Amino acid sequence: MNSAANALLTTEEPTETGAQQIRDAIRDAIVERRLSPGTKLSESDVGNLFNVSRTLARAALQALSYEGLVSVEKNRGAFVAYPSPDEARQIFAARRLIEPGILREAAARIKTSEIQHLRQLLLEESRLISERGQTARRAEIKASGDFHLTLAAISGNTIMQRFMEELVARSSLVIALYGQSTISSCGHNEHGDIVSAIEAKDLDRACHLMLHHIAHIEADLDLRERKGQGLKEAFDL
């Protein structure tokens, strides 16, 4: 077992804790596009991978299904969700409705230290963009999503933060299926412009930039399917 899975569970833990750890690991693999839409996630494979019972594996997959990241089909099992073009449009429509509000709430509460933290995220994102290779690309994708999740955390609204976790993860699924370019899925320069507008307390401009940014991501989509990895390959086994 590799470090990603080995760091989770070497002995059986209470169901809620163990299932959450497995859920988080699989969710991260989906967000980073190591697991592609349509990948089969059998309870036995997940259990063997993380050295846990099928009961824990089933609980983790059910938690992911509630978030829309896994679909469970009768007599077939669980699969990484395979969003349709209509679902993709709905996901980005939801982001256009929600993220400007999150941004305004975050801007009303933001501290100088949090501005600095956002700038640090952008520096890390820039470093990853300059690197090459599959690992760097995955890390860049995660860093890009973390920018949006950090704004949600700064807003202080835990409900909206959970919504954004789901939307960012489901956006990653959509981009894995329909993204047509090799550029960053979430424009680094646009992130910087948004932070600058927040820092200048120009919230109308910040919200306009956020909507433009989301539209930019959506405009990079087409209907072509992208080939991904299987469960074991995603965890480098």
Would you list the domain boundaries of the chain? 3-82, 85-219
| 85-219, CATH topology level | Four Helix Bundle (Hemerythrin (Met), subunit A) (1.20.120)
Between CA 38 and CA 36 the distance in angstroms is 6
Residue 4 · residue 48 · CB < 8 Å: no
Which residue reads 């956002």 in tokens? Answer: 118
Tokens describing residue 234:
């995603």
Q: What is the pLDDT of residue 7?
A: 47
| Average model confidence (pLDDT) across the chain | 84
What fold is seen in the domain 3-82? Answer: Arc Repressor Mutant, subunit A (1.10.10)
Please state, in angstroms and rounded to a whole number, the distance separating the CA atoms of residues 229 and 39: 8
Q: Phi first, then psi: give them for residue 62, nearest 5 degrees.
A: -65, -40
- Token duo for residue 28: 């991260």
Could you read off the pLDDT of 104-162 as tens digits, one per residue?
999 999 999 999 999 999 988 888 777 766 666 666 677 778 899 999 999 999 999 99
Task: Please state, as a whole number, how many other Cβ atoms lie within 10 Å of the Cβ of residue 219.
Answer: 10
Percent of the chain with pLDDT over 90: 49
* 228 closest CA partner among 76, 81, 107, 57: 81
Average pLDDT score over residue span 165-190: 76
Q: Give the pLDDT score at 12.
A: 46
Q: What pLDDT digit, counting tens, does each position of 59-97 carry?
A: 999 999 998 899 988 888 999 998 988 999 999 999 999
- pTM for the structure as a whole: 0.75
Q: Which two tokens stand for residue 157?
A: 């609204």
